[in-house]
């Protein structure tokens, strides 16, 4: 999902990545904290003269620790999710906080309230513990350490409160949806939660404009985009409900043999105007998948010699014909690929492309409109 990010470490098999936007916000935060070090020292009850470290180094340290706190917050969500049997793909730290990418196939069947609460509860507990530490042991700490621990505690408490605002898709928004879903259908609950989220987003941005605070405007924008995406997702889910992969997949699949050369493949693609094929061996077993992209990665001079076997992808992303269409769509988007192979016990049954799904979606939308008109 987030292409421009790199893995910095792995905790309990969960890769923690940083997004490129993080590199933009880091110096920004460092300068903001550095410039306000006087006020922060006041809050922490230390005098600026006692600080041995320069304001910007303190700012840098605090900015890094703040992002570490966000990573811990996301890990808290992840551990509770994992305890409920949901696999975590990765955690990405970005411009405004973090995102834990979960393999969420259970969808509405599971209760997300504890997963959503885990992050803010952790941040609150961690923040309160840090603040308590400053209270009890401030005499034993240098002024710098005092300031760092105090401000980190303060920021963690802030993080907990901020995340608990019912601004879907925030944690608070998810808690709200979970509570609403107890008395109404899940989709309706999502709809209400996203509307509340959008309202909050607009309030944030308007308030930010009013007091001239760019950060609040950004946060408002971020929440609005998040809420809109979530409601689009909801519409897709609703449209696809009750559809199986076999309902819309293409059954007559054109395949290629693994011994075909790359050049022959290119000609075949040109003739049939297909950009990808499942690859079969002599026994008629599915052994891979080859796309235009794979041909592009070979040099033109090698294309007469290289076979499909040399350039194909062996790691196949497949779905079963009876699988839910929305689950298949999620798989497709997550892997960021154009087609899924539909297999049943290893046998190729069909192919499901992004455009198959989009066509089905449009037809279904027209049909629904028709029903609305007729009704
Ligand atoms: Zn959270």
At residue 236, the pLDDT reads 73
| CA gap 219, 207 in Å, rounded | 11
- 287 Cα–ligand 1 center, Å: 41
CA 116 to centroid of ligand 1, rounded, Å: 6
Q: How far is the CA of 157 from the centre of ligand 1 (A)?
A: 13
What is the second-level CATH architecture of the domain 245-363?
Roll (3.10)
H helix count then E strand count, the chain? 14, 10
- Annotated catalytic, 258? no
Per-residue pLDDT at 104: 56
Q: Report the C-alpha gap between 110 and 222 in whole angstroms.
A: 26
Cα 130 to ligand 1 centroid, rounded to whole Å: 19
CA dist 343 → 73, 248, 253 (Å): 39, 14, 12
Q: Is this prediction's pTM over 0.85?
A: no
Q: What's the pLDDT at 366? A: 74
The CA 64 to ligand 1 mean position distance, Å, reads 18
pLDDT at position 1: 45
Among 49, 74, 112, 238, the active-site one is 74
pLDDT for position 101:
67
The Cα 61–Cα 40 span in angstroms is: 14
Tokens read off for 73: 């917050």
Chunked mean pLDDT (size 10), the chain, 375 residues: 69 80 80 83 79 83 88 87 79 67 56 86 94 82 84 90 82 87 82 86 84 74 75 71 79 86 88 86 86 84 86 84 80 75 84 80 71 62
d(CA 74, ligand 1 centre) in Å:
6
Which residues, at least 6 apart from 134, have a Cβ–Cβ distance to it below 8 Å?
44, 141, 146, 149, 150, 153
153-171 tens-digit pLDDT: 998 998 898 888 887 778 8
Q: Which two tokens stand for residue 234?
A: 């909801």
**DSSP bridge partners of 350:** 342
How much is the pLDDT for 2? 47
């Amino acid at each position: 999902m987030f292409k421009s990010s790199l893995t910095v470490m792995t905790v309990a098999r969960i890769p923690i990545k940083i997004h490129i936007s993080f590199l933009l916000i880091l110096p920004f935060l460092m300068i903001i904290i550095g410039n306000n070090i006087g006020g922060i020292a006041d809050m922490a009850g230390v005098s600026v003269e006692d600080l041995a470290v320069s304001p910007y180094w303190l700012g840098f340290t605090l900015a890094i620790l703040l992002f570490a706190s966000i990573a811990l917050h996301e890990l808290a969500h992840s551990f509770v999710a994992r305890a409920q049997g949901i696999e975590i793909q990765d955690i990405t730290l970005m411009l405004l906080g973090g995102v834990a990418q979960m393999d969420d196939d259970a969808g509405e069947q599971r209760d997300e309230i504890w997963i959503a609460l885990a992050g803010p509860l952790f941040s609150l507990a961690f923040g309160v513990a840090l603040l308590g530490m400053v209270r009890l042991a401030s005499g034993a700490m240098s002024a710098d350490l005092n300031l760092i621990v105090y401000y980190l505690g303060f920021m963690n408490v802030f993080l907990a409160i901020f995340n608990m605002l019912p601004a879907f898709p925030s944690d608070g928004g998810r808690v709200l949806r979970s509570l609403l879903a107890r008395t109404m259908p899940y989709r309706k609950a999502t709809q209400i939660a996203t509307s509340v989220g959008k309202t909050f987003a607009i309030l944030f941005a308007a308030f930010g404009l009013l007091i001239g605070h760019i950060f609040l405007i950004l946060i408002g924008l971020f929440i609005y985009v998040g809420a809109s995406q979530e409601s689009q997702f909801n519409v897709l889910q609703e449209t696809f409900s009750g559809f199986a992969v076999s309902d819309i997949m293409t059954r007559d699949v054109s395949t290629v043999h693994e011994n075909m050369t790359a050049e022959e493949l290119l000609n075949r693609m040109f003739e049939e105007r297909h950009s990808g094929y499942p690859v079969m061996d002599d026994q008629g077993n599915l052994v891979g998948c080859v796309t235009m992209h794979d041909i592009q990665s070979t040099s033109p001079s090698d294309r007469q010699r290289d076979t499909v076997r040399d350039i194909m992808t062996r790691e196949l992303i497949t779905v079963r014909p009876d699988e839910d269409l929305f689950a298949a769509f999620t798989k497709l988007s997550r892997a960021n690929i154009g087609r899924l192979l539909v297999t049943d016990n290893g046998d190729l049954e069909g192919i499901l492309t992004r455009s198959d799904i989009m066509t089905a979606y449009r037809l279904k939308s027209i049909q629904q409109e028709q029903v609305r008109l007729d009704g």
